[in-house]
Amino acid sequence: MTYDLSPLLLTFKLASVTTAILFSIGVPFAWWLANTRIRFKPAVEAMVSMPLVLPPSVLGFYLLLAFSPTHWFGQGLDRIAGIRLAFSFEGLVIASVISSFPFMVHPIQAAFQSLPHSLTDAARVLGKSNRQTFFRVLLPNIKPALLSGTVLAFAHTIGEFGVVLMIGGNLPNETRVASIAIYDEVESLNYAAANFYAGVLFVLSFLILLAVYFINRKKQNQMALHQGMPK
């Protein structure tokens, strides 16, 4: 029996694009959150965490309203750039970035906050610029958190259902990702196809998490061995 692989390919494409965007904006944002002392920081952190507690259908509903051509935001995009985000792959990307944002930011923010200030102070004493300190000193010391944030964001995007259904609907080769395909096949009582899509996502998610735990444990063992070596 042959299965349509386009939902799986579209899912991996969406997760890859979303994760790349999240990494590029989430890492510096997490650093800013870890170091800022602004008075409304709790409000910013609450907004970042909202996708964790909001039902996906609620988030998807408000994003659908914003992307709609009848809303000022969607209407402006349509008039100025000719872009329609509702029921499009581009809209799925933006919605996925918003819904997966805390999964990227939280572990990286926690890692930045756990770093001793002496690292930054030592880098400045050695004449390193802020950019050099960030890329050559801070980031190498939070590699496990970077890996965790990346994997969590990727995995969450793969498994997202409510938001992508509200924003993208079920358009073949455009917005019909694997989670939507599973729902569609179950409604059609085509359990074999649903089991195929679900099984692929299950195995992939397990292998990704297994790799992360293996890498992190290996690094922890190396650190423990290094700390236990006689000086």
Low-confidence ranges of the chain (pLDDT < 70): 1, 219-220, 222-231
**Residue 125 near residue 115 (C-beta atoms within 8 A):** no
CATH code assigned to 6-228: 1.10.3720.10
Contacts 24+ apart (CB under 8 A), 64-71: 64/166, 64/167, 67/91, 67/94, 67/167
Whole-prediction pTM value?
0.88
> Which pLDDT score is estimated for 227?
58
Calpha distance 214→61 (Å, rounded): 38
Measured CA to CA, the distance from residue 226 to residue 222 in angstroms comes to 6
Give the count of beta carbons closer than 10 Å to the beta carbon of residue 191.
11
State pLDDT tens for residues 145-202.
Answer: 999 899 999 999 998 999 999 998 888 889 999 999 999 999 999 999 999 999 999 9
